[in-house]
Structure 1
Amino acid sequence: MELGGHTMIKNKMNTKLKKGIFSAVAVVVLIAAVIAVNIFVTSKNYTVDVTANKIYSLSKQTKKILKGLDKEVTIYVIDKESSVNSSYAQVWKEYKKNSTKVKFVYKDPDLYPNFTKKYTDSSEEVANDSMIIKCGKKYRYVSANDYVSYSYGSDYSYSADSLQLESLTTEAINYVVSDSTPVIYTLSGHSEQSFDTSVTSSFEGDNYSVKTLNLLTEQRVPDDCSILLINGAQKDITKDELKMIKKYMKNGGKMYVFLDAKVENLTNLYSLLKSYNVEPQKGVVVETDASKYTQYPIYLLPTIESSDATSAQYNSNIYILAPSAKGLKDITEKNAKKNSSASDYTVTSLLSTSDGAYSKVNTDSATLNKEKNDISGPFNISVAVSDSTGGRMIVTGCTNMLLPDIDQAVSGANTDFVLNGVNYLAEQKSKISIRAKSLKTENAVVPAFNQKATLIMTVFVIPLVILAIGIGIVIKRRKL
C-alpha cells in the first residue's frame, strides 16, 4: 500500500512538473512571439491610426502624389526635433514613410536665428514648428499658426475646428515641384459674386494663381489664362466680350461657369452655353424624390455621375449640397438638327436630379407645388463639355454651393467637387484637393426620406412592436 501511495504521489509530482514546464515554455514562446512582432512592427515603421477622423493618416491623394515625386523635396521644420508637437511629428512621419524623396531637416531657432530671414517677411515672427518646403530654388513658407483652423460657436466660444497640416504640406509640395503656376482669371464687370477667401485660398493651395479680368479694359483674354471663371454674373456680357471669349475657347481655352438661378436675362452668355449644347432652364429646381434633397425640396442632394471630373467622389458615399440651383439640359440632339458642328461638343453630366424634378419658373410663387408653366425634369445641375480643339468647359447651375455654411454642411465636399473640376479643366490629374481633418464631430446630412423613415420607425413602428410583444407575453402567461 505504501509503495502504491508513493507511486501515486510521484506520478502527481511528475504531472505537476510537466504542466509547470509546459506553462513555462508557453510563457517563453509567448514572450518571444511578442518581442518578434514588436521588432517586425518597429522595423516596418508600422502604426495604426485609431482616431475617429484619421487625423494622423495620409489621404490616398497625398500618397499618390508622394509616390509620383521625381524631385528631392526638403522640409525645414523650425524647431528642435525633440520639441516638435507630437501630433505634427506623427503626420510628418507618414510623409517620410511614403516617399524617399522627402527629407525633413530640423532647424533650432536658437542655433540658427537667421535661417528663416531669406524665406519670410523680416517683420513676421516665425512660430515654432513652422515649415519651409523647398525644391531647387522654389520654396513655400507655411506658418504653424495655420495648421489648426478655429471657429466661433453659437455661444461665442472659440474652439479648434480642423487640422490642416496634411493639406498645407501636400499643397506646398505640389507647388515647389511644379514647373509653372496655372492662372485662373475671374471675370469682372457684370456684378459677379465674389468668392469667400477660403475658396481663393483653396485655389492657391492647389497651385493656381487667381487674378481678376475685365475684358472691357483688357480687350482680350490673356495668353497665360489657364481657366476663365465666371461666378454668378448678375448682368449679361457684351457682344464684344462674347467674341473675345469665343476666340479664346476656339484656341483650346478652358472655362468654369457658375449660374445664379435667380438671374434670367443673360442673352449673350446663354447663347455661348447653348452653342456648347448646354441650355440653362428658367427658374429654380424643385426635387420630388425625398432621397435627393434635405430639409427643403430646393436643397438638392444631386446624384454624382461617373466622369473624369468626378472620379474622386463618384460612388464614395458623400453628398454634394446644391441649394437654389438652376437646371441644365443637354441639347446636342436639338442643335444637331440645325448645325452639324454640334457633334463637335461632347456633354457629360456631373451632377443630376431625379426624373421627377421640375423647375419652378415663378420663383416668387407662394407654393412649391408644380404649376402649369413649370418645366419638367430631369435636369443636370452640373455638366462638363469638351470639344474637338481641346477646349473644355464646366457649367454649374448653383452659386451657393461654395458659401461657407453650405460647404461645411457636407464637410467640404462642395469645395472638393469644384477643385476637382478645376483640375480636370487644367488637365492636372495628379492635383486632387486634400481635405482638412475635422477635429469635431462631422455634420450628418440626412435626406428627407431617411428623416421621415426614422421618425416613423422611432415614433410608431418600434413602440408598436414592443407593445405587441408585451401583450403576447401577458396572454401566454395567463394561459399557463
Structure 2
Amino acid sequence: MSKILKNNIILILSIIALNILGFWVYFRADLTADKRYSISESSKNLLKNLEDEVIIKVYLDGEGLPGGFERLKRAVKETLVEFKYFGKDNIDYQFINPYNGSEDERNKLFKELVEKGMQPTNIFAKEDGKKVENLVFPYATIWYQNKEVPVLLLKANLAQDSQTKLNQSYENVEYELASAIQKLTNTKKKKIGLLSEFTNLQPINFAGLINTLQEYYDLYIIDSKKSPSFAGLDALIVPKPDKPVDDSTKAKIDQYIMNGGRVLFFVDGLKVDSVGLEGSFAQPLDVNLDDMLFKYGVRINKNIVKDGLNAAIIPMVVGNMGDKPNIQPMPYRYFPLINKFSNSLITKNIDMVYTKFTASIDPVNGNDGLKKTPLLLTSQYTKVLNAPALITYNEARTDTDETEYQGGVKTVAYLIEGTFKSILQKSFTNSEIKTTSVPTKILVCSDGDIIVNEIDRKTGNPYPMGFDRFSQHQYGNQDFVINTLNYLLDEQGLLTAKSKSVGLRPLDKLKVNNQKTKWQLINIVLPLVLLVVFGFLRFYYVKNKYAQA
C-alpha cells in the first residue's frame, strides 16, 4: 500500500469518526463579541422546564423583505434554533409567509391577524423604478395548551431612526418570546396588591393597568382598613393617591417594606384639578407620604416640570378656516414624553413614556447606603414651575424659547435598592416593629398619570395604558411598569434576556461612494487571481515532486 493511499484512508476514516462523534455529541461555541447567538440562563431554565408543547408561528416572512426586516427575521430564527435546542420536543416553530396562497386565502389570513391585534407595518420599496408599498406582519403567535398570545417583534423606541429601531427589536427578540412563553406557562403567579382607596379615580381609569397586571400576576384590590398587614403580597402598588394616606396604612406599608416587600409608588407633586384656556393654579399635594419617602432616600418636589424638547401633542384651535375653526396638533410642554433613560434593564429599548404634570425627584440622605438609580429623565431643556403654578392650555400656542428652558435634566422615577430604615420607632408596647429592613427594592415615580389610562368619550371604553388618543400611539408606559415588576420580583431573572447588546456597524457612505470600484475589485477579482496563482504553484510543485521521483 502506497503512502499516499494510506494517508487518504486515514483521512477518510477520521472524517467518518468525526461525523459519528458529532451525531452523539452536540457542541456549539458563540465566538461573537456580543454573544448574539446565545440566550440567557433564565431563558434556558424556562425552556428546559416546559411541561407541554409550545408552538411558535412567525409571520415575519416573505419574498423581498427589506434588509433591516430580513435581519430581524434572521435574529428570530437564530433565537428559535436556540429555543429548540434547550426546549427539545416541547418547542416547535414555523415561519409563515402571509402572501402565500390565493388572494382570498391571503385576505382571510390578514383579517384573522388583524382581529388578533396584529397590525401590519407599511414598508416601501422600489421595483422597476416604481415605488411599491407592501404590508409586513412583524409578529409571532405562541400557543400553549389551547392558549394563544401574540408577540410584537418590531418593538423599539418610536423616536429613534428606522435602523436603530430595527436593531433594538433585534436585541429584544429573546426577551419578548421568552416572556410570552413564561406568561402562558406560569401556573404559580405572583400576588400584586393595588392600594387604590386613597385615589378619587375610578377603577375604569386603571383598567389598562389592571388588565395588563392580570395577564402576568394575581391582582388584589386592597382595603387597608380590613387588612391587618400586607404580608403575603409579592408587591404593592400605590396608584396616584390624591388624599392623605392615614398613619395606620402608612405604618403597614413601612413594615411591609421592612420585611422585604416591594412597593411601587406613583405619587404626584402638585394637584391639578382642571385646566382651561385662561388657566388654573396647581397646588401642593400632601398625601402624607413625604416623610416616608424622605426616609427611604428621595424627595418628590412640589413643582411641575415643563419639557421644551419632548412633549405630547394636544389639539388646539389656532384660528379659523372659512367658517370653521382650524384645529392643529400642538406640543403641550406640561405633558413630557420621557425619552432619556438610565443604563438599566428596566428601561432598555422601551418606547418613550407618556407623562402628565410630572414633578421632579431629588435624592436625599446621600450616605444612607442605598443604591438609587434614576430610571426616567427629562431632556436638558426644562423649566420648573414651583407651587402654586399657573397651568393653561394656551401654553400650547407659544413657541419654545430656548432661553427659558435651561433647567437641565430632571429625574421623575427612581429605583431604590438596599436596606431601608423604618419611619417607626420601636417601643415596649410594639416590640414586633422592625426598624431596619432586609435587602429589598422599591420604585418611586413622581407622576401618577403614568399608570392612568384615558377613556374613549364615544364608547366609554378605556384605552390601553400609555395610549395617546390624539397621536393614536401607545407609548412605553406598560413596558415600564411590567419591566419594573419583573426586575423586582423575578427570581429567575428573565429580564436579563434584555442584556443582549448588538452594536450597529454602519458603513461609511462617503467611502462607499468614493471607493466602490476599488473594493469591488478586491472582493471579486483578487480571490480569482489568488486562486489561479495557487493553482499554478501547486501544479509546478506536484510536477517537480514526481519528476524527481
| TM interval, short-chain normalised | 0.5 to 0.7
Contact 1:286–1:360 (Cα < 8 Å) also in 2 = no
2:320 alignment partner in structure 1:
none
Aligned partner (choices 197, 200, 205) of residue 210 of structure 2: 200
Q: How does 1:298-313 map to 2 (within 5 A)?
A: 298-310=334-346, 312-313=348-349
1:114 alignment partner in structure 2:
none
Contact 1:61–1:432 (Cα < 8 Å) also in 2 = no
- Show structure 2 runs of 5+ residues with no match: 1-35, 63-72, 94-115, 117-139, 153-172, 272-283, 314-330, 420-437, 454-463, 499-549
**Are 1:382 and 2:418 an aligned pair?**
no
Alpha-carbon offset, residue 395 of structure 1: 1.1
1:393 alignment partner in structure 2:
442
Aligned partner (choices 267, 274, 283) of residue 303 of structure 2: 283
Alpha-carbon offset, residue 365 of structure 1: 4.6
Letter in 1 for 2:356: P
Aligned partner (choices 288, 306, 309) of residue 268 of structure 1: 288
Alpha-carbon offset, residue 407 of structure 1: 3.7
Aligned partner (choices 271, 287, 296) of residue 332 of structure 2: 296
Q: How does 1:224-373 map to 2 (within 5 A)?
A: 224-263=232-271, 264-288=284-308, 290=309, 295-310=331-346, 312-313=348-349, 318-333=351-366, 343-353=368-378, 354=380, 356-365=382-391
Contact 1:285–1:327 (Cα < 8 Å) also in 2 = yes
Letter in 2 for 1:75: E
Aligned partner (choices 147, 161, 164) of residue 142 of structure 1: 147
Q: Distance between the aligned counterparts of 2:447 and 2:481, measured in 1?
A: 11
Provide the alpha-carbon RMSD of the alignment. 4.5
Counterpart secondary structure, 1:215: coil
- Show structure 1 runs of 5+ residues with no match: 1-58, 78-83, 107-126, 134-139, 149-164, 334-341, 436-480
1:338 alignment partner in structure 2:
none
Q: Deviations over 1:209-266 (max 9, x none)?
A: 22111111112112x2111101101211111111111111111221101123543443
Contact 2:42–2:496 (Cα < 8 Å) also in 1 = no
Could you say if the C-alpha distance between residues 183 and 379 of structure 1 is closer, same or farther in structure 2, counting changes exceeding 3 Å? same
Aligned partner (choices 204, 207, 210) of residue 219 of structure 2: 210
Q: Distance between the aligned counterparts of 2:479 and 2:448, measured in 1?
A: 15
- Shifted more, 174-183 versus 320-329: the winner is 174-183
Contact 2:268–2:285 (Cα < 8 Å) also in 1 = no
Q: Distance between the aligned counterparts of 2:311 and 2:258, measured in 1?
A: 37
1:16 alignment partner in structure 2:
none
Contact 2:310–2:333 (Cα < 8 Å) also in 1 = no
Q: Distance between the aligned counterparts of 1:181 and 1:261, measured in 2?
A: 33
**Are 1:173 and 2:206 an aligned pair?**
no
Q: Distance between the aligned counterparts of 1:60 and 1:320, measured in 2?
A: 30
1:182 alignment partner in structure 2:
190
Letter in 2 for 1:211: Y
Q: Distance between the aligned counterparts of 2:414 and 2:382, measured in 1?
A: 19
Counterpart secondary structure, 2:439: coil
Contact 1:63–1:98 (Cα < 8 Å) also in 2 = no
Contact 1:357–1:378 (Cα < 8 Å) also in 2 = no
- Identical-residue share of aligned pairs (%): 15
1:75 alignment partner in structure 2:
53
Alpha-carbon offset, residue 204 of structure 1: 3.5
Contact 1:358–1:378 (Cα < 8 Å) also in 2 = no
Q: Deviations over 1:138-185 (max 9, x none)?
A: xx54247x789xxxxxxxxxxxxxxxx999974452146657422111
Contact 1:231–1:257 (Cα < 8 Å) also in 2 = yes
Q: Distance between the aligned counterparts of 1:230 and 1:85, measured in 2?
A: 38
